[in-house]
Amino acid sequence: MLLNQRFGEIDYEIIGRVKILPIEQLENLRAALFNISEVADLITCLNQQNS
């Protein structure tokens, strides 16, 4: 998975959250990956997409 290539091994819970995102949110996340430098930022991004 691209996220594992970017950040190394990622917790399965986070991977699960990404896998259930609708296509539009996945595209937003893909674009945001250029600005995300660590897993904590990824979690923040996921939390924002769920609100």
Q: What is the pLDDT of residue 6?
A: 86
- CA–CA separation, 2 vs 33, rounded Å? 10
Measure the CA–CA gap between 46 and 29, rounded to whole angstroms. 8
Q: At what angle do helices 23-32 and 39-50 cross, to 10 degrees?
A: 150
Range of the domain at 11: 2-50
Q: What pLDDT, in 10s, does the model give residues 19-33?
A: 999 999 999 988 888
Pairwise CA distance, residues 23 & 20, whole Å: 9
In contact, 22 and 46? CB cutoff 8 Å: no
**Mean pLDDT of the chain, nearest integer:** 89
**Number of folded domains in the chain?**
1
pLDDT at 34: 87
pLDDT for the residue numbered 19: 92
Report, as ranges of residue numbers, the positions in the chain whose pLDDT lies below 50: none
